Homo-oligomer: A and B are copies of this chain.
Amino acid sequence: MPTPCLACPLRARRVFAKLDQSEIRAIQRFKSGELRIGPGTPLLLEGSNSPQLYTALSGLGLRYKTLENGRRQVINFVFPGDFLGLQAGMMNEMQHSVEATTDMTLCVFNRSEFFRFFGANPARAFDITWLAAVEEHFLGEALASLGQRSGLSRLAWAITRIYLRQHALGQVDAKGGFPLPYRQQDLADALGLSLVHTNKTLAKLRERQLVSWQEGRMQVHDLTTLADLAGADLEAELVRPLL
């Protein structure tokens, strides 16, 4: 009952780079199974050396890091198509944790075969590096947000970012609504704001009629103004490879 890669619903989306059948079959051979986990389940742990790598197929999660002072930094949100565990694959140890926020389905790859796969499929090796570069790009953007933007802008930036990501996955409805099953605390930890301040800033966005957020669903009423507040241009999602 695992999804055959050739029939992968994600791969059909335009955000993901096209591959031909033989390439997809090579990935299929690399894939060792599928994993389903529920909300709150830890998938990868900071400091651990996971024997598996994953590609998120459905559901949402988050990556975070816990500091010595007990505080938590959410590194980013995990969407379908994200490749998880590369750090452990390359550096033998995860530097952050990943956990599921909703039910998730993941493709599972064995790390023991990772090296062989990487060596035998140069184009896929290239894709993996590409993925790492894309990740690096996002982290750079996030860093710039935390470092240089006000609370309001950061929030607007994060919502815009997630909107675009969900849009690329076809999850945004005609009215600008999409699933956002995270807690305010998660957003706060991602943006370096306190929970209370996040809540109050969110209220401002609501008052300005830019967004509303209830029962795990975000409605963006005015994307242009929101993106403007964020101080980010509204570019389409980058095409990215999918393993």
Interface residues of A (CB under 8 A from B): 65, 67-69, 71-73, 75, 86-87, 89-91, 95-96, 115, 118-119, 122-123, 125-126, 128-130, 132-137, 139-144, 146-149, 189-192, 231-233, 238
Q: From the candidates B125, B136, B147, B233, name the one contacting A136 in the complex (CB within 8 A).
A: B136
Residue on B nearest A190 in the bound complex, by CB = B147
Contact B118 A126 (CB under 8 A): yes
Contact B122 A90 (CB under 8 A): no
Q: Which residues of B contact A134 (CB under 8 A)?
A: 90-91
Q: From the candidates B122, B135, B140, B190, name the one contacting A125 in the complex (CB within 8 A).
A: B122
Q: Which residues of B contact A91 (CB under 8 A)?
A: 130, 133-134, 137, 238
User: What is the distance, in angstroms, from A46's C-beta to the closest C-beta of chain B?
Assistant: 10
User: What is the distance, in angstroms, from A87's C-beta to the closest C-beta of chain B?
Assistant: 5
Residue on B nearest A119 in the bound complex, by CB = B122
22 CB contacts below 8 A, A to B, read A65-B141, A65-B144, A67-B231, A69-B148, A72-B148, A73-B144, A75-B140, A75-B143, A75-B144, A86-B136, A90-B130, A95-B137, A95-B140, A118-B126, A119-B123, A119-B126, A125-B125, A129-B129, A139-B139, A147-B191, A147-B192, A148-B192
In the bound complex, what is the Cα–Cα distance between A67 and B28 (angstroms)? 41
Among A65, A68, A144, A147, the one with the most B-chain Cβ atoms within 10 Å of its Cβ is A147
Q: From the candidates B67, B135, B137, name the one contacting A148 in the complex (CB within 8 A).
A: B67
Among A71, A125, A129, A232, the one with the most B-chain Cβ atoms within 10 Å of its Cβ is A129
Q: Which residues of B contact A118 (CB under 8 A)?
A: 122, 125-126, 129
User: What is the distance, in angstroms, from A222's C-beta to the closest C-beta of chain B?
Assistant: 18
Q: Which residues of B contact A233 (CB under 8 A)?
A: 68
Q: Which residues of B contact A192 (CB under 8 A)?
A: 146-148
User: What is the distance, in angstroms, from A31's C-beta to the closest C-beta of chain B?
Assistant: 19
